[in-house]
Amino acid sequence: MMNLLGIVGTNSDHSTNRMLLQFIQKHFADKANIEIFEIKDLPAFNKPKDRKAPSEVQELADKIIEADGVIISTPEYNHSVPAILKSTLEWLSYTSQPLIDKPVMITGASYGKLGSSRSQAHLRQILDAPELKARIMPSSEFLLGYSLQAFDENGNLKDQSKIEELERIFNDFTHFVTITNQLVSNNHSPKNVQKFSWEDN
């Protein structure tokens, strides 16, 4: 079975993005093993001279490397991603760069009607930076608006049409993961794996 890593894009204890990932984990349990990773206790990125990742960041990097694909669920803070998510991506880009060529699906939940659309677009742009270089699933968005009202008391999405939309996107993502990993492994002679550094430019 496919192994995926779900990253909760916030350090809030009360998060509808965490609920969304927990729902995805439960709803697709017969299609993928999904481990949920919390970034809430990671230190703020501080660009250490030795480029060494703190152990919690290294743990995340190792899990990303092992996973077939990654799902990131982001809130929207001031039209962008929360600082903790940006900081986490800065750590990863500055240390072992585990997201290079990794298939990624972006989801998000927000309290307003746009369902984190602006932060998702921003996250897509960030993940495309040369030191991150994730393989982001194209032409797909799962926007969960009015997220405070979206779940029942068992943590299930209430709106059946939203569940069906998620099923279509998740199904696409499983194919995207398989195809992308085949493409990448066919292309991965060592000369093709080029890690980028701004300092070498």
Ligand X SMILES: Cc1cc2nc3c(=O)[nH]c(=O)nc-3n(C[C@H](O)[C@H](O)[C@H](O)COP(=O)(O)O)c2cc1C
Size of the site for ligand X (CB under 6 A): 17
Single residue of 52, 65, 66, 112 touching ligand X by CB under 6 A: 112
Which residue, 87 or 96, has its beta carbon nearer to ligand X?
87
CB of 73 to ligand X, least distance (A): 7
Closest CA to 141 of 161, 160, 114: 114
**Beta partners for residue 108, in sequence order:** 74, 143
Residue 168 lies near ligand X (rule: CB under 6 A): no
Element (DSSP H or E) covering residue 70 = strand 69-74
Residue 83 lies near ligand X (rule: CB under 6 A): no
Cβ neighbours of 77 (radius 10 Å): 17
Residue type for position 112 = G
Range in contact with ligand X (rule: CB under 6 A) among 69-77, 87-95, 168-176, 178-186? 69-77
Single residue of 6, 75, 98, 103 touching ligand X by CB under 6 A: 75
Residue 77 lies near ligand X (rule: CB under 6 A): yes
Range in contact with ligand X (rule: CB under 6 A) among 26-34, 99-107, 111-119, 171-179? 111-119
For residue 2, how many C-alpha atoms fall within 13 Å in the half-sphere facing its CB?
A: 24
Residue 175 lies near ligand X (rule: CB under 6 A): no
What is the C-alpha to C-alpha distance for residues 7 and 18, in angstroms, rounded to an integer? 9
Contacts of 174 (CB under 8 A, 6+ apart): 2, 31, 32
Contact residues: ligand X, CB under 6 A? 10, 12, 15-17, 75-79, 109-112, 114, 116, 147
